[in-house]
Amino acid sequence: MSHEAISSLIPGSKIYFIGIGGISMSGLALLSKGYGFSVGGSDMNPSERTEMLAENGIKIYNTQESGNIDEFAPDYIVKTAAILPKNPEVGRALEKGIKIFDRSEFLGLITESYDRVINISGTHGKTTTTSMTSLMLMDAGKDPTVHLGAELDVFGNNTVRLGTNKDILVSEACEFKRSFLQFRSTTAAITNIDHDHVDCYPTIDDVIEVFAEFLDKVDDNGYVVVTGTDKNISKSLEIARGRYEKAGRAFPSVVTCASDGSDADFTAADIEFKEGLPSFDIVFKGGKIGRASLRIPGKHNIANALIAAACAYLNGADPDSIIKALNEFGGADGRYTVKGKYRGCDVVVDYAHHPTAARVTIDAASHMPHNNILVVFQPLTFNRTKLLFEDYVISLLPCRKVLFSEIFSDREINTGEISSKDIADEINRRGGDAEFFESKEDLKDRIDELIEPGDIILILGPEDIRHLGDELMVREGR
């Protein structure tokens, strides 16, 4: 791990991002421009995101050719994990001896540049928790810099916010390909640990181990904020404590959260639901901080709110700011986002592509006002779908109706071993009701046949299927 800071790069130098249209990469490009660098980059898939970057004065190339490197003449390259060594831009950069950073390594440079760094990790809930924490600190006047995995309306529908000082950075920290091991933390949060990214972590024990390594990166005298009832987190903590002891280091202060009535430092009390939306008291070590009323549904968002409150409180946010931020938070893009009405139905999109996330999101929707729920689902990556096949079936079997789109993956080759149709067939074999569609147009036509006014159309999965929500809005206006 590099312990350089972003300030170690040549001031005013040129940075070129390969795969600049990605959620994280586009945000890092914007931050880099804000730090005073000259920024450009390439992406094979033009999008609203690349258009936004161009509008912000960032040079965008819609091809990936060696000549782009010659023309832009960067001092540094940042590339995503999906970019292969044979990429022509990477090849040209190597020929010219240009320093190349992986995305996570570059974000690691940024984490070294701030006095306080709050890294929020976990299999589920990272984006929502990071958003909540950031808004609490903003309301408290702390002016944080923020790096998110989704667009946020209060950031001008961007994924990042640049503070005016180098005091606090709040960042979403993903475990994919061990990327969060590049990040320094003064506060490290873990929302939960589940088996995911199976191409990197064959077993749940591998996931537990890497989260323990993540805790190794916390500064001395730092904080670890965790869900106290998560057994896998407890195992990670135990492994991490052993490493600290072996290294002769004092373990960071552990702050626990629990929303199920268990003992913890931060708890939720007097939980009530009104039309699916939760209200609850936030209690810290027996003292009431205030009462929050969320605008986003689901028990899981109570848990997210507690983690966020703990992270913000430990970094100077006052109780009033914590409660105000929670009461006003409308959700990050793609996290239980209500796109609008289609033929009298609420159209909701959510990134819930993992079986656990799908289950809690469907449960959250079930408590919202509705007649019936029509679930549209797309799994993400073939390896995950193959390994977690039974979990997908169990999570989706209780649904009244599930419409499947084919598995999406932009980092694997489809070998034909697994398909969404296999999940649909198994659900039907067990007495459920599922259908598979190869064509998005056929899928939209089937939605038209099934829905009635007052239903919820719940679209779950990666961006590829969430676009369907926008397409239904367009169809509504035709």
pLDDT tens, N- to C-terminus, the chain (478 residues): 345 788 889 999 999 999 999 999 999 999 999 999 999 999 998 999 999 999 999 999 999 999 999 999 999 999 998 888 899 999 999 999 999 999 999 999 999 999 999 999 999 999 999 999 999 999 999 999 999 999 999 998 899 999 999 999 999 999 999 999 999 999 999 999 999 988 889 999 999 999 999 999 999 899 999 999 999 999 999 999 999 999 999 999 999 999 988 899 999 999 999 999 999 999 999 999 999 999 999 999 999 999 999 999 999 999 999 999 999 999 999 899 999 999 999 999 999 999 999 999 999 999 999 999 999 999 999 999 999 999 999 999 999 999 999 999 977 778 889 999 999 999 999 999 999 999 999 999 999 999 999 999 999 999 999 999 999 998 877 5
Residue 186 near residue 223, CB atoms below 8 Å: yes
Kindly list the strands in the beta sheet with 456-460, ordered across the sheet, starting from the edge strand earlier in the chain.
Answer: 337-342, 345-350, 456-460, 373-377, 402-405, 434-437
User: What is the SS3 string spanning 223-245?
Assistant: EEEEECCCHHHHHHHHHHHHHHH
The pLDDT assigned to 203 comes to 96
The pLDDT assigned to 2 comes to 43
CA distance 96 to 86: 15
CA dihedral of 223, 229, 233, 239, whole degrees rounded to 10: 80
In this chain, the answer to whether the domains covering 11-103 and 337-476 adopt an identical fold is no
Spatial separation of the C-alpha atoms in residues 273 and 294, rounded to whole Å:
10
Looking at residue 260, what is its pLDDT? 86
Nearest residue to 145 (alpha-carbon basis) of 32, 263, 301: 32
Burial (0-12, 13-18, 19+ Cβ within 10 Å), 203 = exposed
Output the CATH code of domain 11-103. Answer: 3.40.50.720
In sequence order, what DSSP letters do the residues of 381-435 get, joined into one string? -HHHHHHTHHHHHHHHTTSS-EEEEPPB-SSS---SS--HHHHHHHHHHTT--EE
| 391 CB neighbour count, 10 Å cutoff | 18
- What CATH code is assigned to 112-328? 3.40.1190.10
Domain ranges, ordered by start, for the chain: 11-103, 112-328, 337-476
Report the SS3 class of residue 274: strand
User: Which residue from 169, 167, 155 is spatially nearest to 30, judged by alpha carbons?
Assistant: 155
Contacts of 245 by beta carbon, 8 Å cutoff, 6+ apart = 251
Specify the DSSP element, H or E, that contains 255: strand 253-258
The pLDDT, as a whole number, for residue 3 is: 53
* CATH homologous superfamily of 337-476: Mur ligase, C-terminal domain (3.90.190.20)
How many whole angstroms separate alpha carbon 251 and alpha carbon 191? 19
